[in-house]
Amino acid sequence: MYQYQTKGTCSRQINLDIHDGIIQDIEIVGGCDGNLKGIAKLVCGKDAIEVAQQLEGISCGTKKTSCPDQIAIAIRQYLAQMV
């Protein structure tokens, strides 16, 4: 399980597990509990690169990042380490 410490969001950490390019498990610690549990259910079983492409660049209010954007960053960092 890969652990990513978020930056600039209400969530504090993303725990992520990817096998063969597919997101197997994701847990977002902190943040908007219901929304992030919903996002986690939606992305599990999906292609990690496609999920990262869809979520990257999403902002939250006036912040330049968001929990979905941080998920995209966590996915990309996880995949980069696996190469």
Query: pLDDT of 12-56, one tens digit each?
Result: 999 999 999 999 999 999 999 999 999 999 999 999 999 999 999
pLDDT the model gives residue 46? 98
* Cβ partners under 8 Å of residue 38, min gap 6: none
Q: Tell me what the mean pLDDT of segment 56-71 comes to.
A: 96
CA geometry: angle at 64 spanning 14 and 26, to 5°? 15
pLDDT the model gives residue 25? 97
pLDDT the model gives residue 82? 84
pLDDT the model gives residue 83? 75
CB atoms under 10 Å from CB of 24, counted, come to 13
**H-helix segments, 1-66:** 33-43, 48-55
Pick from 60, 59, 55: which is nearest to 74 by CA? 55
pLDDT range class, residue 63, cuts 50, 70, 90: very high
